[in-house]
Each structure stands twice: as structure tokens, then as C-alpha cells.
């Protein structure tokens, strides 16, 4: 049986890939007795998938029941599911069979399974593992042959971490997972669903079906749809009742339902603005690397001062210098003219050697007597932003063997911007 036949049989509208994948999984698992966990947002149609699985299974001639476990009070849910004996609790004037007994041989769909109380989860786990259960107020073990399909719109793994859902039950339920996509994930199906609901409403109330112009259609296709298919159906019915015109414009729709302005449309950015933004990103990257180079230079200066027992000049005439975060020294060491490495600046240092201050020439080179530094060559680095940007581009092109697409991706700019800069710098 192909997917289109299944869609026609169960009135499923849509052609999105994610919907087809979920439907295909449901069809493949239907002929087994494996437990299925259906996930998805509220209103996506999880119960429809449970009915598909039941009606395509060997149990299709037996009972099917859908239970919203979140809607049953905690004090009575065990009785509802597993039954109770007479006198088991106040008000239990007679014995009662639970759903697992009355639907024996069929399928039970447990919706909102994440809201099930922990003690009920323990009972359910035993049913899944051995098919056994006990009525409330009884000591007699009963057997059942029921297929369980569960559904949730919450993150069960998050509930497990919070201690509100049993991990062992989760893995028993999640034998075959099916995720039903939200309406926002299948936007190509929104207009098809709109037409279906509009025609259904017109046939039910013997009226003309509403239609959308291009603006109104685009408005619906870019709305967030937090309520999914259920919300779309409600909106179609509202528009069908409240508007006289049957060809609706964007303004007509917004007059009735202004919240549809909340779209997922991206903000409009022209190509020139995009290129300028990417150029700024590249500039920020250059400046960030310059900062790292300056930190390395500071680290070298501190190392020279430390190893040669040099004195630091009067800091009132210098900008405060901070020890780079990645420069590590032994905190137990001490040496002339240097404070503890944990001090971040030297603005408050008090040097008593006045002659040192008078003789200090900030432009004089540092003379190092240590043989280790005799061959040290002082290189003045070119800090021109244009030269550094050119160098970045050259390095990226070389690393990717001249492939502009990969180089542009690494630099964080568009291929068009990279091409323009290559011409500008004559690379």
C-alpha cells in the first residue's frame, strides 16, 4: 500500500518530506506489536497516527481507545487504567474493570504520557514488560494483551533529568519513535490544508468556500502556527463566518486575526548591506588577531624583565599594562622591579629610585646581557589594516589551493565580496 493511498484513506493532507517519513514509519511498524512513542507539538495530529497504526495492524477488528492521561486526576488514574475492587477506596461501591481489561486484544493510545504520575508509570512498566497488572485494592495478578501507543508534546528526557519520568519506562515506550512535524516545518502544506478546511466548512453549512489572494496566502504561509493544524482549522472557520467577501486579501485577514502579523519572515537585507556587514566581520577578525599579537608582545616583555632582573620604569608616565591571560609564571618567584604576577596592572607601584626616573628614556632600546638573547632581531610588524586584510585573504586562498568558495567561507564573507577584494588588492 503506497503513501498516497494511506493519505486518501485517512484524509491526510500534505506532501512534505518530513510528513511522508513519519507516515512511512507508522505504516511499517503497524503489522508488529512493538510499542510506539509519537512525539510532536500540540495540534499536529498525533492521535491520527495512532489510529493509522491500529487500523493497519492485525488488531484492527478489536477495540481502540484513546486516553488523555493528563486529563485524569492523579487519585483516580490507576483505577481508570487498571480497575479496582469493591471497597478499595471511598466511593468504590462495586468492582470496576479498567481499560487494560476492557480493551484486551486491542490498542490503547496514551496521550500526554509525560503527565502520568510516577506510581502509575511503575504499573505501566510492568504491563509493558510482562503483560501483568493488579486492580486497585486487589492482590490478584491479571494478564492483558494490549498494544500501547504513547504520545507526548514535551521533552521526556528533560523530565527524566528532573526526576519526573522513569528512564526505564521511557526506553520501553520508545521502541519505535515517530516524530510528527509541526506546521512550521511543512509550510508547503499550509495552503492545501487551508483549502481542505474551507471546502469542508462550506459543504457542512451549504455556503461558498473562502479563497485567498497572493498576499493573504503568503501571510498564512509565514505565520508561526504555535497551535499547528488545529489552529489553522480554527482560523479557517473564523474567517468563513466573520467575512462577507469570499476572496480574502491580506488586509481582510488581518482585520479579523491581527496576530497573523507575527511571521517568520527574515528581515530584508540588500546585497550592499550584506557585503558591508561581511567586511566589518573581516575587520573585527583582523583586530582580534592584532590584540592577540599585542598580548604575546607583552608576555615577551615580562619575560625579558624577569630573566634579566630589570626594574620597571615609573608607571605614571606609561599606560597601565596587563599581564596577558595566557601568560603563566611561577607565583612563588620574585625578582627586582616586578610585582606578583597575580597583580594585573602597575599603576599603583611606588619606585623610590628617582635617578632612574630622571634618566629614563622611553625611546631607548632595551639592552639585554643574557647570551640567550644576543641574536634577537627586533622586527617592526606592519599594522596596516589593509595589508593585514590582504595577508588574511592570501593565506586563506593558499590554504584552500585557490578555491574561492572555501576561502570565503573561512573568512566569513561572501564569494562575491572575496572576488571584489582580490581584484582590489591585485592578488
Residue by residue, pLDDT tens for the chain (427 residues) are 789 999 999 999 999 999 999 999 999 999 999 999 999 999 999 999 999 999 999 999 999 999 999 999 988 999 999 999 988 888 888 999 999 999 999 999 999 999 999 999 999 999 999 999 999 999 999 999 999 999 999 999 999 999 999 999 999 999 999 999 999 999 999 999 999 999 999 999 999 999 999 999 999 999 999 999 999 999 999 999 999 899 999 999 999 999 998 765 544 444 455 555 556 666 766 776 777 777 777 777 777 777 777 766 654 545 555 555 554 444 444 433 444 443 444 344 444 444 444 444 545 554 444 444 444 444 445 556 677 788 888 888 888 888 888 888 777 788 778 877 887 888 8
Q: Are 113 and 153 in contact (CB under 8 A)?
A: no
Length of the chain: 427
Following CA atoms 24, 25, 29, 34 in sequence, which dihedral angle do they give, to the nearest 10 degrees? -170
Please, what are the domains in the chain?
3-181 (3.40.50.300), 185-261 (1.10.8.60)
Largest distance between two CA atoms of the chain: 106
pTM for the full predicted model: 0.61
Amino acid at each position: 500500500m503506497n503513501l498516497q493511498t494511506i493519505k486518501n484513506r485517512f484524509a491526510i493532507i500534505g506532501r512534505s518530506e518530513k510528513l511522508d517519513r513519519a507516515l512511512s514509519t507508522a505504516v511499517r511498524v503497524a503489522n508488529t506489536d512493538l510499542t510506539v512513542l509519537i512525539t510532536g507539538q500540540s495540534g499536529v495530529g498525533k492521535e491520527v497516527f495512532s489510529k493509522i497504526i491500529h487500523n493497519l495492524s492485525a488488531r484492527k477488528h478489536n477495540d481502540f481507545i484513546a486516553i488523555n492521561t493528563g486529563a485524569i486526576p492523579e487519585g483516580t488514574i490507576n483505577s481508570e487504567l487498571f480497575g479496582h475492587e469493591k471497597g478499595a477506596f471511598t466511593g468504590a461501591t462495586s468492582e470496576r474493570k479498567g481499560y487494560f481489561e476492557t480493551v484486551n486484544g486491542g490498542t490503547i493510545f496514551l496521550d500526554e504520557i509525560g503527565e502520568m504520575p510516577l506510581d502509575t508509570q511503575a504499573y505501566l512498566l510492568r504491563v509493558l514488560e510482562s503483560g501483568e497488572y493488579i486492580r486497585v485494592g486487589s492482590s490478584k495478578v491479571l494478564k492483558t494483551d494490549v498494544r500501547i501507543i504513547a504520545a507526548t508534546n514535551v521533552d521526556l528526557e528533560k523530565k527524566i533529568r528532573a526526576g519526573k519520568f522513569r528512564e526505564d519506562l521511557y526506553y520501553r515506550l520508545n521502541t519505535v519513535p515517530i516524530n510528527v512535524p509541526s506546521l512550521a516545518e511543512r509550510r508547503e502544506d499550509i495552503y492545501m490544508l487551508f483549502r481542505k478546511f474551507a471546502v469542508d466548512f462550506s459543504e457542512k453549512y451549504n455556503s461558498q468556500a473562502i479563497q485567498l489572494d497572493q498576499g493573504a496566502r503568503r501571510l498564512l504561509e509565514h505565520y508561526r502556527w504555535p497551535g499547528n493544524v488545529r489552529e489553522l482549522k480554527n482560523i479557517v472557520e473564523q474567517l468563513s463566518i466573520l467575512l462577507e467577501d469570499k476572496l480574502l486579501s491580506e488586509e481582510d485577514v488581518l482585520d479579523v486575526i491581527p496576530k497573523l502579523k507575527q511571521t517568520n519572515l527574515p528581515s530584508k537585507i540588500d546585497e550592499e548591506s550584506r557585503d558591508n556587514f561581511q567586511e566589518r566581520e573581516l575587520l573585527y577578525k583582523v583586530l582580534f588577531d592584532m590584540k592577540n599579537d599585542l598580548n604575546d608582545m607583552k608576555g615577551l616583555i615580562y619575560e625579558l624583565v624577569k630573566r634579566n632582573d630589570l626594574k620597571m620604569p615609573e608607571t605614571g608616565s606609561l599606560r597601565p599594562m596587563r599581564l596577558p591571560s595566557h601568560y603563566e609564571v611561577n607565583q612563588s618567584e620574585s625578582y627586582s622591579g616586578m610585582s606578583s604576577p597575580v597583580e594585573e596592572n602597575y599603576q599603583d607601584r611606588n619606585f623610590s629610585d628617582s635617578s632612574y626616573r630622571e634618566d629614563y628614556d622611553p625611546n631607548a632600546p632595551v639592552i639585554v646581557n643574557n647570551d640567550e638573547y644576543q641574536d634577537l632581531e627586533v622586527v617592526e610588524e606592519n599594522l596596516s589594516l589593509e595589508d593585514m586584510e590582504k595577508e588574511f585573504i592570501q593565506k586563506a586562498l593558499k590554504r584552500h589551493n585557490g578555491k574561492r568558495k572555501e576561502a570565503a567561507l573561512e573568512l566569513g564573507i561572501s564569494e562575491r565580496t572575496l572576488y571584489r577584494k582580490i581584484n582590489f588588492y591585485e592578488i
